[in-house]
Amino acid sequence: MFSTALAALTAVKDQHGRQRTKLKHVAARGDGDDLKSVLAACIPAEQERLRGIKTAHGSKVLGEVTVDQALGGMRAIPGMLWEVSLLDAEEGIRLRGHTIAELQIPSNEQADSVSAELRRRAELPDHVFRVIGALPPGTHPMTQFAAAILSLQPDSEFAKAYAAGLPKAKYWEPVLEDSLNLIAKLPAIAAAIYRHSFKGGRFIDPDPSLDWAANLAHMMGFDDEGCREMMRLYLTIHADHEGGNVSAHATHLVGSALSDPYLCLAAGIAGLAGPLHGLANQEVLKWMFQVQKQLGPDPTKEALEAFVWDTLKAGKVVPGYGHAVLRTTDPRYTCQREFALKHLPDYPLFKLCSTLYDVVKNPFPNVDAHSGVLLQYYGITEEDFYTVLFGVSRALGVLAQGVWSRALGFPLERPKSLTMELIEKRFSGHP
């Protein structure tokens, strides 16, 4: 399933059939069906499309910005392009036009070819293990993750090519190289962090017969097929959530300064590490354990409702619930729930998760409300590690967009900021 998410790198149309036609067409012309050849064939048409949009619609108004939006985290301001996915408040995410339920894009052949490409690039230089090993084991796994990604930055093909004077039209090529190299190495990095933090630093070698997601589970020390399948699901559904979320936007913003993909992803990972964003999946588990400790393993709805109110009255958030955009149950929550109903219907933590769903209802649960339950069931019990897995997956979307951003020549991002004085002067009738 993971290569489905990575296939977003190669997709050009948002219709299932049209995308396959394009991939076949490119291969049939003998241009090669590796990711770079497919992209090289797609990019000129997309550049032309963007030029057409600019010429035909460049001066049209997309929306107005209210003072509330400027004060309120720029919510819903349509201010950036993001080609990998699009979020609808009622329906949830679509990746290149496909819903979470439909995410079965590539043929086996395409998936195998992406797997082989990643395997070829997966080896982790020794110094990365040394960087991770040099950090105190108590260092939060997300801090280790950002440090390990940055330690690979000296290998950036883009940084070297830029310094050597690479012309603008070719930026996307070394950005693609860096992105594939980085994506290929992320499972080994994540597993090394896990082993360093929780298993006394004994690293496990990759198994070249396994796919990207299964190898991550293997290198962490988990080899049963159920865990592998869960990992494939996990790494697919967290891959992208359009461009405005904190991790995507941070990656995108840093990339607009032509920082290389290593620097960009480290920025995105730093954003993902915040408790209102990716870290919420760890916070959910901590909160559920508090519930179990205080109310027992199978609390009544009434007791749970009172616990939720206590959390809110204490001025804290209920982690895993609510979303900046979604106004419905996150489809990524639903697909994890379906997986749990199939594979772990009687697991007490899943039952607690379900009761909570009945009690809270609104705000609706997001992806983080469920993921930890699956990880716990398969023995990955160290919740401080969970956001690293989220980051491995998120890299697929944000780095894929980074390739498109350079291929389409997106400019430096630099929105206008305001002061309170300026707003007061403008709207209070004073000069």
Ligand X SMILES: O=C([O-])CC(=O)C(=O)O
**Which does residue 320 bind out of ligand ACO, ligand X, none, counting CB within 5 to 8 angstroms by kind?**
ligand ACO
In this structure, are residues 240 and 85 in contact, taking their beta carbons and an 8 Å threshold? Answer: yes
Q: Residue 337 touches which of ligand ACO, ligand X, none (CB < 5 to 8 A by kind)?
A: none
Q: Report the Cα 227 to chain-centroid distance in Å.
A: 20
- 3-class SS of residue 149: helix
Residue among 140, 277, 330, 370 flagged as catalytic: 277
Catalytic residue flag (residue 323): yes
Is 336 a residue that touches ligand X (CB under 6 A)? no
The window from 52-60, 225-233, 270-278, 401-409 that contacts ligand ACO (CB under 6 A) reads 270-278
**Shortest spacing between CB 133 and ligand ACO, in angstroms:** 30
Residues between 391 and 430 with contacts to ligand X, criterion CB under 6 A: none
Task: Using CB under 6 A, pick the residue from 85, 366, 371, 376 that binds ligand ACO.
Answer: 366
- Considering the rule CB under 6 A, would residue 322 count as an interface residue with ligand ACO? yes
Catalytically annotated residue among 140, 249, 323, 370: 323
Q: Which does 178 bind (CB under 5 to 8 A by kind): ligand ACO, ligand X, none?
A: none
Annotation marks residue 25 as catalytic: no
Contact string (CB under 6 A) for ligand X, positions 347-386, x = contact: -------------------xx-------------------
Of 71, 276, 341, 423, which one interacts with ligand ACO (CB under 6 A)?
276
User: What are the two backbone dihedrals, phi and then psi, of residue 175, each rounded to the nearest 5 degrees?
Assistant: -65, -40
Backbone CA torsion sign across 153, 157, 161, 162: negative
Identity (one letter) of the amino acid at 312?
L
Among residues 211, 240, 260, 368, which one is catalytic?
A: 368
Contact range with ligand ACO by CB under 6 A, out of 38-46, 53-61, 107-115, 366-374: 366-374
Q: What is the DSSP string of 217-247?
A: HHHHT---HHHHHHHHHHHHHTS---S-SHH
Question: Per CB under 6 A, does 321 bind ligand ACO?
Answer: yes
Q: Is 15 helix (H, G, I), strand (E, B) or coil?
A: coil
Among 84, 368, 371, 392, binds ligand ACO (CB under 6 A): 368
For residues 177 and 158, give the distance between their C-alpha atoms in angstroms, rounded to a whole number.
8
Q: Which CB atom, from 276 or from 341, has the smaller least distance to ligand ACO? A: 276
Residues 178 and 358: their CA atoms lie apart, in Å, by 45
- Nearest Cα neighbor of 187 from 161, 147, 219 is 219
Taking the complex as a whole, the smallest distance from the CB of residue 412 to ligand X amounts, in Å, to: 23
> Binders of ligand X: how many residues, by CB under 6 A?
6
Among 289, 270, 284, smallest CA distance to 398 is for 270
User: Which partner in ligand X, ligand ACO, none is near 276 (CB below 5 to 8 A by kind)?
Assistant: ligand ACO
- Residue 317 binds to ligand ACO (criterion: CB under 6 A): yes
Q: Give the separation between CA 162 and CA 143, rounded to whole angstroms.
A: 28
Q: Which of 47, 100, 152 is nearest to 367 (CA)?
A: 100
Distance of alpha carbon 78 from its chain centroid, rounded?
Answer: 21
Closest by Cα among 413, 321, 322, 326 to 369: 321
**Residue 368 annotated as catalytic:** yes
Handedness of CA 395, 396, 399, 405 (dihedral sign): negative
Give yes or no for residue 363 binding ligand ACO (CB under 6 A).
yes
Residue 95 in 3-state DSSP?
Answer: strand
Look up tokens 């039209």; give the residue.
169
Residue nearest to ligand ACO (CB): 322
Determine the Cα–Cα distance for residues 185 and 272; give it in Å rounded to an integer.
Answer: 19
What is the smallest separation between the CB atom of 124 and ligand X, expressed in angstroms? 27
Q: Smallest distance from the beta carbon of 367 to ligand X, in angstroms?
A: 6
For position 243 contacting ligand ACO by CB under 6 A, the verdict is no
CA 169 vs. chain centroid, Å, equals 27
Residues that bind ligand ACO (CB under 6 A): 276-278, 280, 312, 317-324, 363, 366-368
Active-site residue numbers? Answer: 277, 323, 368
Residues that bind ligand X (CB under 6 A): 241, 245, 324-325, 366-367
